Each structure stands twice: as C-alpha cells, then as structure tokens.
Copies of this chain bind each other. A is one copy, B any other.
C-alpha cells in the first residue's frame, strides 16, 4: 500500500483531561435532564440501522409520535439531527425556488424560518412581532392580501426566545382561507403545551427530542398530512437536500425501510422511552403538570419583584422569560447559578442579549422540586446584582399556586 502515511502529527496525551462533566440541573431552554429511564435504555445493545428488529422499533416510535402529535398522518418520522434539522427538512421539502412563504417571526427561533427559507430560494414575507407579543390574525390577513401567491404560512406554537405561547386557531383559519399550507414549529412545545395536529389542522409540524418530549438531543420528529405530502410529490425540481429528503426518510421509517442514512439506534431507544413515559402519564395530565409548575415559577418570579417579558395571557408554561431591570448583569446571574448551584438557565438572544433570563421546566424537569430549587437559588444570587427580593416571598408565592 503506497498510501501508508505515518502518524507524524502527534498530540500530547496529557493535554486531554479526563471527561468528568458536572452534574447540572438543566433549566435552560432545552436540553432538559432526561428521566433516568431514558438514559438507562439508551445503553441497550446497539442495533444496525437495517436490522429487522430495528425496523419494528422505528415503526413503534413513529406510532408513538403520532399519538404525541395527535395525528393520523402516515408521514410521521424523525430527521437525524437537532430541531433545526426538522425545520429545514419541512421547509426545504415544501418550498421550491421562487415560492413565497409568510413567516410569523415571534423571536429568534421562529425567526430562523426566514433564513432557512431564503437559503432554500424562497421569497419571504417576514411578519415580525414585538418581542413577547403574539402575531395577530389581521396582520396575517393583510399579508395574504398583499401576497396572494403565498404558499406557506409558518410560525411557532411556543417561541423559546421570548417565552411566548402563540394562539394558532385564527392564524390557521386565515391561512387556509387563502389556500396556503399551515406549518408549525413545535420544537419546544410538543409534549409540553396543549396541541393536537389533526384538530388544529396543522399541515406540517416539526419538533425536537430534547425539550418537552424529554429525550436526548439528536432527533427531530416531524409530521406532514396528505395535503403537504402531495405538495412534495408534485414538486417540479427535486428537494435540494438528500439528507433532508422526506420521501426517502418516510420510506426508511414507515415503508419498506429502504436504506437512507445510518440512524442511531440508541438515540431512537431513548426517544421511544420518553414518549412511552408520556403515554403512561397521559397528554392532558402532562400539559397540566407543565402549566402548574410554570405558573408556580412565574408567581415566584413576580413575588421577587421581577417582570415577565411576555405579554400577559400569552406566557408559555414550559419556558419563562424574565426581563431584567436596566443595569443588571444577566451573565453574572447565570454564572452564579451555574458555578455555585450547578443550575443552567438561559440568557437572551439577539436584541434581548443581556436583557433577560430564561428558565425552562420541560419534560422530566417540570416538577415542584425544581421550581423551589431555582427560586431559592435566585433569591440568594439576585442581591449581588443589586436586586432585593423579599426573603421567602418567592417560595410562598409558588406554594400558593400549588395549594390553590
């Protein structure tokens, strides 16, 4: 073999430390800590991506995801990637060069619909809302009047950058009245906030494994109804991406399991287990649990004299965005929690950088213990930033929610 090349480039072995990650309580915008059952089952023996046993596991997982999405859509599967891989798969399969899409950009995450669609060659009508406020139906109505050619309206049910729960019923009505496809980003919402793909007439929806579903990151569940599937089948040009081609992925997950890519069996095991856990709990109970713990956290936050970013009535249960008073150092608060309490929370993105903290209570992490823990930690950390929460007020306010 003439190609044999010696390992000339050396590395100092002692420059690579032993891997000992801290044990964090992950109360940011996701990932959350997974149920120990999920982690344990992740260690089950590996299966090849073309093993008949694995095909049965894929089918079970798709079946479970249909339940979680509350849909009968045949095309329900996972993209092997993060939540954005699901967004890109849905958008670049539905869009062709020159198509028009209206984006309900509620913040950083749903705002990425703009960039993903533009890169796919689409014309984007960008409806940006005031941060923390929902998109109103009349704004969408006007956009459709100005752009009757629009093929898709896409927005998020749960915008994690601002903690917003976007009401969808009116937006769906307007979208379908104009004959467009109704596409919903549920990356942070699925499994945590009330949603029902079929009843809400969502044509295509994408999610992320690591948020309210409560699995590890690395899989993006997506579901498309027959109308959306027909749009893909009637494309004039192939989808720009092989990796994100939903017809190939559907065939691999739900059809004859023809090879498309090497799915990670262990990640699929964990996602399957997370949805089984949700099924044991029940969807309504799970939504109610996220609502209760989110309410208790918000009561505690407000009792400390802090304000929510989100407009009243539109606050998301699974993620609470807290505006900081002028001059308060967001990073100091986050680092205090991280370094002294091993608690991770999130900061602000883009125009909100440095101006807010974001606390997630998702999946396994949405529990009373975590609400009390983070409130108690904040009560100790905030005074260093010049804030003066009244001792015990936060926990008392949270307690009142639990006992109301």
Contact = CB atoms under 8 A, between A and B. Distances in A.
Interface of A: 1-11, 13, 15-17, 19-24, 26, 28, 30-31, 33-34, 39, 41-54, 57, 60, 63-64, 66-67, 70-72, 80-85, 88, 92, 112, 115-116, 118-121, 157, 165, 167-169, 193-196, 198-200, 208, 210, 216-218, 238-243, 259, 261-267, 269, 272-273, 276, 279-280, 282-284, 287, 338, 344, 346, 349
In order of increasing CB-CB distance, the 6 nearest A-B pairs are A5-B196, A7-B283, A4-B194, A217-B264, A82-B261, A218-B264
Contacts of A63: 11, 15-16
Given A9-B66, A21-B265, A338 B243 contact: no
Contacts of A42: 42-43, 266
Contacts of A259: 349
B21 A60 contact: no
7 contacts: A9-B71, A11-B279, A28-B50, A51-B344, A81-B243, A85-B261, A217-B264
B21 A48 contact: no
Contacts of A241: 88, 92, 119, 240-241
Contacts of A276: 16
A250 B382 CA distance: 35
A46 B284 contact: no
A45 B70 contact: no
A11 to B, nearest CB: 4
Each complex incorporates copies of this chain amounting to: 2
A199 B85 CA distance: 34
Given A5-B199, A26-B48, 11 more contacts: A1-B194, A19-B269, A21-B269, A22-B45, A49-B217, A50-B346, A51-B338, A88-B243, A119-B241, A240-B240, A240-B241
A208 B21 contact: no
A11 B69 CA distance: 12
Contacts of A24: 45-48, 51
Contacts of A119: 238-242
